[in-house]
């Protein structure tokens, strides 16, 4: 070459120009194809699905620009300043995990971390429970537990005569996701009366009547404590009668436990109904979540367990649960379960955890009592005693959908349209504002129906 010093730059320039021309040609070709050659897709026939009732409200709250806005919709704990709270015991456990050289990010087994599962089941059933008869697997929090449990029951519970699906009776009202979960499991979702809107209290007589009328061998879904959304739990005497009725009808119990320890501040007391049913000889199925009581909302930490009669039954049930899980999500995440395991294997952290849990329950109950007090102070003449009698995260107020809509449109107070208020969203800075707004939309109107 006569100009060797120009050869490399010129070569690079031509290569760049060629690449540009090639990209331009490909872009034009793709544009032509997209305009003329693509046939109609099945995607054009996919309908728009409805937004989730609760998460949609949360999104509306985020986009609201009103400085007065209050979120009493989503069931997640907030501290006295309205902020999410990581339990100090959970934070300490997490810090230990970060510096533990034995911790890794390997896959968990299909059934999850066996040590975590044992500790979780001991937390629910009691440390003196016969673990050899408990078939337990780690799940994607309580939702995943319900999904796996529903699939298992749909497959193995005998169908009542004349029915092509296994019926599951869930309380009316209940957590809204229960309906979709068990429908998608192929079960026949039915309702039993639970809440009496004329008294704003448990409809115990209706509950008993509906469980008596249910076909023999139905699955009965029960909230272990702090019923969502009503906060109305049966007394222990009533639980005993429900247990006897279920046994006489040969029904199958499915407990959903999302609030153990969070409800009353006493995890042992909150497990009383579950443990009663086990002591009465029921082959209980239990969906257990650590979202609320450990504050592990985003870690998706839970278990599903089945009380079996023998080691042989346990082995068979475990094998079938694994066969359900493997093609569904293969194995569970490990971070949240490692936190729970770390807390429950250390005496000091366990003691601190129980204090943390009691602190949450105490604040929630204080807001429950104060809301009723402030409602009276601002002039409400309604009887709000049902609110103070309830337990757990929510207050089921008795307000109708029109009242709830007015709270949102007029006061930017976001809540579900069934009148459920998340007490965790209340604090000393907003409770008077909320009480005055509730008084405004309910004054002169009935909160019973």
pLDDT at residue 449 greater than cutoff 90: no
Reported as a single tens digit per residue, the pLDDT across 128-139 is 999 999 999 999
> Would you say residue 87 has pLDDT above 90?
yes
292 classed as catalytic: yes
pLDDT surpasses 70 at 414 = yes
Among 56-60, 68-72, 150-154, 427-431, which is the least confidently predicted range?
A: 56-60
Verify cis geometry, omega within 30 degrees of 0, for the bond prior to 323: no
In eight-state DSSP terms, residue 269 is: H
Residue 279: Cβ-neighbour burial (10 angstroms; 0-12, 13-18, 19+): exposed
- pLDDT, tens only, 168-184: 999 999 999 999 999 99
Q: Which of 85, 92, 113, 175 is catalytic?
A: 175
Provide the token pair at 205. Answer: 């007589």
Question: Quick one: which of 354, 143, 109, 385 has its CA closest to 257?
Answer: 143
DSSP 8-class letter at 283 = -
pLDDT confidence of residue 2: 44
Bin 35: left if φ > 0, else alpha if -120 < ψ < 50, else beta. alpha
- pLDDT mean over 294-312: 98
pLDDT at residue 38, rounded to an integer? 72
- In the predicted model, is pLDDT for residue 407 greater than 90? yes
**Whole-number Å distance between alpha carbons of 82 and 296:** 17
pLDDT-derived band at 10 (thresholds 50, 70, 90) equals very low
Set 256, 341, 384, 418: catalytic member: 256
256 belongs to the catalytic site: yes
pLDDT, tens digit, for every residue of 241-286? 999 999 999 999 999 999 999 999 999 999 999 999 999 999 999 9
For this structure, is 83 an active site residue? no
Question: For the whole model, what pTM was predicted?
Answer: 0.90
The single residue of 92, 292, 341, 370 carrying the catalytic annotation is 292
Residue 7 tokens read as 């050869």
H or E stretch at 364: helix 347-377
């Amino acid at each position: 070459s006569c100009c060797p010093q120009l050869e490399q730059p010129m070569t690079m320039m031509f290569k760049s120009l060629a690449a540009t021309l090639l990209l331009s040609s490909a872009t034009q070709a793709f544009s032509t194809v997209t305009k003329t050659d693509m046939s109609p897709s099945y995607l054009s026939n996919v309908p728009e699905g409805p937004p989730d009732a609760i998460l949609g409200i949360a999104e509306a709250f985020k986009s609201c620009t009103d400085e007065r806005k209050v979120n009493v919709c989503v069931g997640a704990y907030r501290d006295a300043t309205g902020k999410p709270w990581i339990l100090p015991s959970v934070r300490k456990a997490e810090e230990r995990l970060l510096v533990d050289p034995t911790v890794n990010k390997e896959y968990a087994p299909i059934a999850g971390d066996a040590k975590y599962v044992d500790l979780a089941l001991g937390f629910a059933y009691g440390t003196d429970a016969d673990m050899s008869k408990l078939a337990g697997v780690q799940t994607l929090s309580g939702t995943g537990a319900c999904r796996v449990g529903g699939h298992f029951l749909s497959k193995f519970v005998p169908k009542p005569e004349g029915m092509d699906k296994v019926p599951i009776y869930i309380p009316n009202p209940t957590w809204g996701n229960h309906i979709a979960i068990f429908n998608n499991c192929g079960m026949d979702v039915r309702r039993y009366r639970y809440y009496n809107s004329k008294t704003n209290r448990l409809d115990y007589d209706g509950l008993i009547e509906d469980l008596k009328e249910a076909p023999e061998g139905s699955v009965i879904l029960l909230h272990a404590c702090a019923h969502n959304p009503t906060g109305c739990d049966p007394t222990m005497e009533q639980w005993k009668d429900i247990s006897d009725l279920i046994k006489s009808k040969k029904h199958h119990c499915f407990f959903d436990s999302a609030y153990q320890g969070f409800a009353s501040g006493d995890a042992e007391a909150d497990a009383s109904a579950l443990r009663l049913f086990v002591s009465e000889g029921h082959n209980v199925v239990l969906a257990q979540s650590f979202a609320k009581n450990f504050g592990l909302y985003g870690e998706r930490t839970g278990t599903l367990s089945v009380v079996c009669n023998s080691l042989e039954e346990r082995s068979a049930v475990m094998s079938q649960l694994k066969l359900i899980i493997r093609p569904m999500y293969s194995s569970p995440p490990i971070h949240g379960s490692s936190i729970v395991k770390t807390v429950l294997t250390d005496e000091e952290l366990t003691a601190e955890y129980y204090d943390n849990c009691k602190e949450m329950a105490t604040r929630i109950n204080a807001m429950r009592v104060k809301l009723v007090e402030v409602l009276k102070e601002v002039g409400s003449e309604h009887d709000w005693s049902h609110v103070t009698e309830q337990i757990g995260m929510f207050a089921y107020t008795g307000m109708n959908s029109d009242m709830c809509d007015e709270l949102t449109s007029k006061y930017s107070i976001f809540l579900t349209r069934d009148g459920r208020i998340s007490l965790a969203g209340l604090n000393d800075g907003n409770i008077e504002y909320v009480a005055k707004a509730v008084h405004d939309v309910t004054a002169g109107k009935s909160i019973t129906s």
